[in-house]
Amino acid sequence: MRAFVLPAGCQEIEALRSAERAEPGPGRGQVLVRIRAASLNYRDLAIATGTYVGGAVARDTIPLSDGAGEIAAVGADVTRFKVGDRVVCAFFQTPPSGPPLAPPAPLGSPLDGMLAERIVVYEDGVFAIPRGLSFEEAACLPCAGVTAWHALMHAGKPVTAGDAVLVLGTGGVSTFALQFAKAAGARVFVTSSSDEKIARAKALGATDGVNYQRTPDWDRAVMEMTGGRGVDCVVEVAGAATLTRSFQALAVGGKAVLIGVLGGRGGDVNPYALMTKRGNLHGIFVGDREMFREMNRALEVNQIKPVVGRIFPFEEAPAAYSQYRSGGVFGKVVISMG
């Protein structure tokens, strides 16, 4: 089958190359998924450049953790799915070469991921695609979608109607958080360096936004937009570079959920505001399968569609990486296998 691989020791996205891999077959309790679409996350960029936790990949690795497709074959004892079912794979998977009770690991590293024509996973590692979603939209769910759901609904106090939520940027996790918070009845504020993206966020349901290039003290702007109260939740994707301002933007008793390090791992963080506001800081790393099920139900009930910013054909996977690195897309970058 066709696939793309990152060679062992890879430290640049330009090293991504096409390859032929042996056709996989499902074992007992496993399903073979024909992948129809996959999406990119910041984690995938870090893996390709050798800067992810643990360093460069130790072996030739098929990248990407997020993907959706249809069941092409089932192994013995599979009961939940049949050939032709439309499914999306979880971020954490039981290693397909190991026993069913082996510890789960992420797709895309250390396990081979979704940038291939087919993949074998255990049946408990896949979910039915929510009604109304295309393969390209469903491919956005496993990492970005579940992470946003975890941050809003499971870390600390869940976001509820009347709350104020601040999302930093307009990437995959941030747009999901905007949509989920809006569906919960919250007011949502966004930051971006682009007025156009702020306008698109408002069209998606955001209450207001602040351009952090024109307004470096965006935390003060958020306090003004909330009448001096602050926000109940900050979806923090930049890391140490912006954490202090996120703390300062909180309301009393609010929470900051740390999801990413887009601004780099370095920076001075002053926790004083977190203390004086009796706030909470939560570290988030995707989420579990029950969160995935909850999120899927919310997507169906609220008829939420993931925001797909750009779709590339399978053959242009390297261009998709370059587009993602440029940061110019509102929402998710997706690779379609047709």
- Domain borders along the chain are 2-140+306-336, 144-283
Cα 58 to Cα 35: distance, rounded to the nearest angstrom: 25
Q: What is the pLDDT of residues 2-20, one digit of tens each?
A: 999 999 999 999 999 999 9
Token representation of residue 237: 């994707």
Specify the CATH class of 144-283 in words. alpha beta
Q: Please state the rounded mean pLDDT for residues 94-110.
A: 93
Q: Please state the rounded mean pLDDT for residues 47-55.
A: 94
Cα 231 to Cα 193: distance, rounded to the nearest angstrom: 20
- Rounded to 5°, the CA angle 277-175-246 comes to 20
Nearest Cα to Cα of residue 305 among 69, 123, 138: 138
pLDDT band at residue 195 using 50, 70 and 90 as cut-offs: very high
Token representation of residue 130: 């929510």
What are the backbone dihedrals phi and psi of residue 179, each rounded to the nearest 5 degrees, phi first?
Answer: -65, -45
Q: Please state the rounded mean pLDDT for residues 307-318.
A: 97
Q: What SS3 state is found at 165?
A: strand
- Cα 239 to Cα 208, 224, 236, 262, distances in angstroms: 22, 23, 7, 7
Predicted pLDDT of residue 253: 97
**Superfamily per CATH, domain 2-140+306-336:** Medium-chain alcohol dehydrogenases, catalytic domain (3.90.180.10)
pTM for the whole thing?
0.94
pLDDT higher than threshold 70 for residue 111: yes
Cα 32 to Cα 84: distance, rounded to the nearest angstrom: 11
Cα 34 to Cα 262: distance, rounded to the nearest angstrom: 32
Cα 74 to Cα 175: distance, rounded to the nearest angstrom: 35
pLDDT higher than threshold 80 for residue 228: yes
Nearest Cα to Cα of residue 335 among 1, 12, 4: 4
